[in-house]
Structure 1
Amino acid sequence: MKDKHWSATKERGSTFGIQLLVWLYRIFGQWLLRIVLIPVIAYFTLTGNKARQASYAYLTRVNAVTGNSTKVRWYHVYKHFYQFGTSAVDKIRAWLNDVTMQDVTFHNPEIFEQLRQDTPSKGAIFIGSHLGNLELCRAIGEHDSSIKINALVFTKHALKFQAALEKFNPDAQLNLIQVDSLGAETAIELKEKVDKGEIVIIVGDRTSVTQYGRVNYADFLGEPAPFSQGPFILANVLDCPTYLLFCLKQSGRYHIYLEHFANSLKLARTERAQQLQSIIERYAGRLEHYCLKAPYQWFNFYNFWQKDDKQHISRTATNKNEKNSSDDS
């Protein structure tokens, strides 16, 4: 039986649900909201078959790589789901300006400072992931008027989340660009933005919504996994500095890691395939490094190691009985 592609999974939840979360947060604060999440997350854990299996498989791989002989149990999977729920609370806090710079630790601050100096004349591309809280990075970036951020999203879920927040905080705006695929038109638009000194953020741990086989396989937690070529080919087209961006919550604080990845990812025509493979392997290695720092904060609740071809996956939307929880932004 074929696996379902991540984009074929219908969202659980609604714009109303997001607005309710924001309302509860504003009235009762984050701690009561985190308590309210306990039964809600229990429900999603019990009813999200596919997501639960994916979490179990992922955490088992983490244990194998780290040499942890502990068997993954239901409460480990629940903890994984609960971290996903609390990350939504952190997103709300960030966009309502309740996260201050005192709550944040910037690693490699010299890279941030250099970026601020460079962006007026030349932009950059940030390649992130579904590890930790990329939304928080974007919200913090919005507080720095010297940096303009554009985020590419591949589903309408992120747009719903943004619309819900703007009802409570009209200033919580970000230039979200919803795309189905990275075509020439999108690349031209983004090239113009980068040339004006703006930042483009894209995630590197989701395969194409529309096309099969536009991937390279790289070792990730002990087994080859498909990584989309799109973000790295986009970086090649934009021909600008490329950074890797991660935000993890550790000991109650938000830790932002910005790594300089390359001054340019321009691919040579004669060695294009080999260079692209090497670049994607480097990205997969850094993603694994940070996953092992905070394994419960990786929010890809589907079979990440599924082969990206018509034999193994279906991009057809699931029916109601096959719904699954995932963060598809």
Structure 2
Amino acid sequence: MIKQWWQHKEKAGMLTLRLTCFLVACLPRVLLDVIVFFVSLVYYLVSKNERENVKFYLSLLKRRGVKTGFAFLNFYNFAQSIVDKILVWKGKITQHDLVIVDERKIKNELKDTKKGHLFLVSHFGNIDAARAVSTELDWLDITILLYSKHSANFNKLINQISVREIKILEVSELGINEMLELKRIIDSGKHIGIMGDRVPVHGDKSVSVDFLGRECKFSVGAFVLASILKCKISTFWAVKNDKKYEISFNLLADEVVLGRDKINDARVYLHKYLDEFEAMCEKYPNQFFNFYDFWQVKSERV
């Protein structure tokens, strides 16, 4: 049986993560980059399934004429993003390390708004860079909906070392209490981030769509949620460009209107999101940190 994303266990134990934090705190970045390179290489060599999954993703991009580089770069960039996450939460990466695209326009859209936005985020780039630094920006207050059971050790460690408030809402189950809390957040003019590139843990709010020329499943839960909360929905990207993180937003819809067939009606909004997602993959092919069988290729071989 093919494992879903939430069934994959953390690769690193708490001891390894603590050692990583110690090295990040004590070593200069140049030396740290050397260590990250060799650690990434080891993971690349021993993680056969993850390596093949990344190679398959890159092969889809190559068919579209994209120069992708080696699959190892996805492992290396992912390891670098973990280092950056730790630096962010320790307060060593600030808003001065960010470049916000169309900052004035975004400020006007998000600051002092009566209702918050629902942001579609993904396992692309490093959303933690923007999420942590958002505590310094009075116009960017984000709570992330997170299924954290498959990364409990990392989240526990981040809570211990963070110098900033971590705004996370666990969503193993989205019951009435959670929905009321989401409504309170949106109605207070604050924002919610939700992963758009993962099928739901519970329920059946996913559809099969074409992504990079190959059919796979995506959740439409975010669009259903936006229609219930009656809020705007936007994409939110944070990609590393040279040594800085480039933050960009794009409004997908002022209002998500769904009929009786909510799942099918949400496809219109999902396709707009996937158009952006594909463009980001083509521009930054080695910053999509997906290591599981996203397209369920292995299930076809069983």
Q: Return the TM-score normalized by structure 1.
A: 0.84
Pairing 1:13-32 to 2, within 5 Å after superposition: 13-32=12-31
Runs (5+) with no aligned partner, structure 2:
none
Separation in 2 of the partners of 1:160 and 1:4? 20
Q: Answer whether contact 1:30 1:89 (CA < 8 A) is retained.
A: no
- Give how far 1:247 is off: 0.7
Separation in 2 of the partners of 1:272 and 1:116? 27
Verify: 1:297 aligned to 2:287, yes or no.
yes
Q: Answer whether contact 1:156 1:178 (CA < 8 A) is retained.
A: no
Separation in 1 of the partners of 2:133 and 2:174? 26
- Superimposed CA distance per residue, residues 142-178 of structure 1 (whole angstroms, 9 cap, x where no aligned partner): 1124543211111235553343234334x32212112
- Give how far 1:38 is off: 2.0
Separation in 2 of the partners of 1:107 and 1:224? 31
Give the 3-state SS of the residue equivalent to 2:15 in structure 1: helix
Separation in 2 of the partners of 1:149 and 1:215? 25
Verify: 1:196 aligned to 2:188, yes or no.
yes
- Superimposed CA distance per residue, residues 225-284 of structure 1 (whole angstroms, 9 cap, x where no aligned partner): 210122221111111111100011112221111111111213233x64443111111111
Verify: 1:122 aligned to 2:121, yes or no.
no
User: Match for 1:235: what amino acid?
Assistant: A
Residue of structure 1 equivalent to 2:239: 248
More RCO (CA 8 Å, sep 6+):
1
- Give how far 1:51 is off: 0.4
User: Match for 1:202: what amino acid?
Assistant: I
Separation in 1 of the partners of 2:202 and 2:81? 28
Residue of structure 1 equivalent to 2:78: 84
Q: Answer whether contact 2:100 2:247 (CA < 8 A) is retained.
A: yes
Q: Return the TM-score normalized by structure 2.
A: 0.91
CA RMSD of aligned residues (A): 2.3
Separation in 2 of the partners of 1:159 and 1:144? 28
Verify: 1:263 aligned to 2:254, yes or no.
yes
User: Match for 2:191: what amino acid?
Assistant: I
Verify: 1:287 aligned to 2:287, yes or no.
no
Residue of structure 2 equivalent to 1:140: 133
Aligned length: 300
- Give how far 1:204 is off: 0.3
Give the 3-state SS of the residue equivalent to 2:11 in structure 1: coil
Q: Answer whether contact 1:187 1:237 (CA < 8 A) is retained.
A: no
Report % sequence identity: 28
- Give how far 1:210 is off: 3.2
Give the 3-state SS of the residue equivalent to 2:236 in structure 1: strand
User: Match for 2:47: what amino acid?
Assistant: G
Separation in 2 of the partners of 1:260 and 1:116? 11
User: Match for 1:37: what amino acid?
Assistant: V
Q: Answer whether contact 2:252 2:269 (CA < 8 A) is retained.
A: no
User: Match for 2:208: what amino acid?
Assistant: Y
Runs (5+) with no aligned partner, structure 1:
314-329
